[in-house]
């Protein structure tokens, strides 16, 4: 298998690119630059101009918001396969978030200017980008609703129920990152996160290191009120 | 001026459509259906399937998040000229938010299926939709950062500074809606909003009904830490 064939196959697995006709995918694959990085690496800083679209193939990446006083929070954690940050890359606007690797990652970088040209020339790629942008927009709508409508304990409950669903066991899950990061992702402090875990004990939640068991998922759902509209 | 000419002129003023070539704009204008509604009207419910893109020409519209227990919050308030909710319309996915008029509004409705067909056929329209989606995505990124990084008083301070900028007077502004709605938009309760206004008195903020004066905008900015990356 040539290097280009391999990149072609990998990009074909990216949901945003899956429906693209072969010639368009091939043009993207020719641009894709592989990158392997350890945990804790900064991919870009908030305020920088985007030079590449990042396609995450392995590992987790945190998109971080940095306040004017240097305080940092986690806006979103991305898992493979996904890409980021399309909105900045396609409109050539400064990143509103920094990106840092949370574990060793494997990425493809696609040149931003080339991607913008391709999007203007290839309606199917433009439609694929619209679908992907819409998905990320909707993730943030859910998060804003989560932050404004739910208590910290309810947010944690919804998060655990969704993780259990993703991991395929309704009664048991593994936290994908440490509690400090989890607190930031849920918009709270580590102290309040501990209190939220304590509150959820009444609803059957037990933790042991990174393993969480959900003794009574239905009761937890009744307390946490997860979204009724399933994720697309 | 014919009805079609008028719609053409109005749609040409919508930022998302401004760069479109005349024939594409004309096809959109032929689809545009005018709608005038009083304050308090529901445009669509959360969970409904989108049938139209809404183009807001006059008045304000609140995009509301509704919790499973019926509790309601304000995700965003839209002002003319803007359109909503592109992500749901273009991907034919259920609305994650309800839309309600906050004052008398004038709207155009554009048939969703027609818009999706046009986007697939017209690369320039697709690019225009990407730009608009990206702008709305970035608004939400800013809001998530705001909710996670700033105190309620800081959020209120940033909101007032931005309103003053928009209204063209750095020292004086008019709140565009009542304090209950403002509290929801800022992710807090009316009681905490009153406390935040009290905190901001130390930074030169005085209110009289819907009029707010900013006695010391620089000091307020130092306290509230508004974004360094200007809005696009």
Q: Is the peptide bond before A30 cis (omega within 30 degrees of 0)?
A: no
CB burial of residue A33 (10 Å; 0-12, 13-18, 19+): exposed
> Could you give phi then psi for residue B105, rounded to 5 degrees?
-130, 155
Residues 192-221 (B) with a CB less than 8 A from some CB of A: none
The mean pLDDT value for A56-65 works out to 96
For CA atoms A42, A46, A52, A53, give the dihedral sign.
positive
Residues 62-81 (A) with a CB less than 8 A from some CB of B: 65, 67-69, 71, 73-75
Distance CA A14, CA A32 (A): 13
**Is A90's CB within 8 Å of B140's CB?**
no
Residues 138-157 (A) with a CB less than 8 A from some CB of B: 138, 140-145, 147-150
User: Which residues lie below 8 Å from residue B144, measured CB to CB, with a gap of 6+?
Assistant: A65, A75, A140, A143, A144, A147
Helix intervals (H) in chain B: 3-12, 22-31, 86-91, 112-121, 123-149, 152-167, 179-185, 190-201, 217-224
Q: For residue B187, what are the CA distances in angstroms to A17, B64, B83, B222?
A: 36, 12, 23, 22
Residue A1 touches partner B, C-beta closer than 8 Å: no
Residue of chain B whose alpha carbon sits nearest to that of A89: B134
Q: So what's the pLDDT on residue B228?
A: 82
Distance CA A56, CA A61 (A): 8
Q: Is the peptide bond before A85 cis (omega within 30 degrees of 0)?
A: yes
For CA atoms B46, B184, B190, B43, give the dihedral sign.
negative
Q: Is the peptide bond before A81 cis (omega within 30 degrees of 0)?
A: yes
For chain B, percent of residues with pLDDT exceeding 70: 99
The mean pLDDT value for A184-212 works out to 96
**Which secondary-structure segment (H or E) carries A86?**
helix A86-91
Q: For B31-55, what is each residue's pLDDT tens digit?
A: 899 999 999 999 999 999 999 999 9
Instruction: Provide, as residue numbers in chain B, all residues whose Cβ is less than 8 Å from the Cβ of A121.
Output: 123
Q: For A81-104, what is each residue's pLDDT tens digit?
A: 999 999 999 999 999 999 999 999
Nearest C-alpha neighbor of A200 from the set A191, A184, A213: A213
DSSP single-letter state for residue B176 = S
For chain A, what is the radius of gyration of the CA atoms? 19
Q: Residue B173 in contact with residue B167, Cβ under 8 Å?
A: yes
Reported as a pLDDT band with limits 50, 70 and 90, residue B232 is low
User: Which residues lie below 8 Å from residue A2, measured CB to CB, with a gap of 6+?
Assistant: none
Q: So what's the pLDDT on residue B1?
A: 64
Reported as a pLDDT band with limits 50, 70 and 90, residue B19 is confident
Residue B100 touches partner A, C-beta closer than 8 Å: no
Quote the pTM value.
Answer: 0.94
């Amino acid at each position: 298998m040539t290097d280009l064939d391999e990149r072609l196959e990998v990009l074909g697995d990216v949901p945003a690119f899956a429906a693209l006709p072969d010639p368009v995918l091939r043009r993207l694959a020719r641009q894709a630059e592989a990158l392997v990085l350890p945990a804790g690496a900064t991919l870009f800083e908030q305020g920088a101009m985007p030079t590449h679209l990042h396609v995450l193939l392995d590992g987790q990446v945190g998109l971080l918001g940095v306040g004017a006083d240097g305080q940092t929070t986690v806006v979103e954690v991305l898992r493979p396969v996904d890409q980021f940050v399309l909105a900045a890359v396609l409109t050539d606007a400064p990143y509103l978030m920094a990106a840092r690797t949370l574990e060793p990652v494997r990425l493809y970088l696609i040149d931003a200017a080339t991607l913008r040209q391709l999007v203007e020339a290839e309606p199917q790629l433009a439609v694929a980008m619209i679908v992907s942008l819409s998905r990320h927009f909707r993730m943030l709508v859910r998060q804003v609703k989560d932050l404004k409508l739910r208590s910290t304990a309810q947010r944690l409950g919804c998060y655990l129920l969704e993780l259990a669903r993703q991991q395929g066991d309704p009664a048991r899950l593994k936290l994908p990152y440490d509690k400090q990061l989890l607190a930031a992702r849920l918009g709270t402090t580590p102290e309040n996160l501990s209190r939220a875990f304590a509150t959820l004990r009444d609803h059957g939640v037990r933790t042991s290191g990174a393993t969480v068991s959900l003794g009574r998922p239905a009761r937890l759902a009744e307390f946490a009120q997860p979204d009724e509209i399933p994720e697309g």
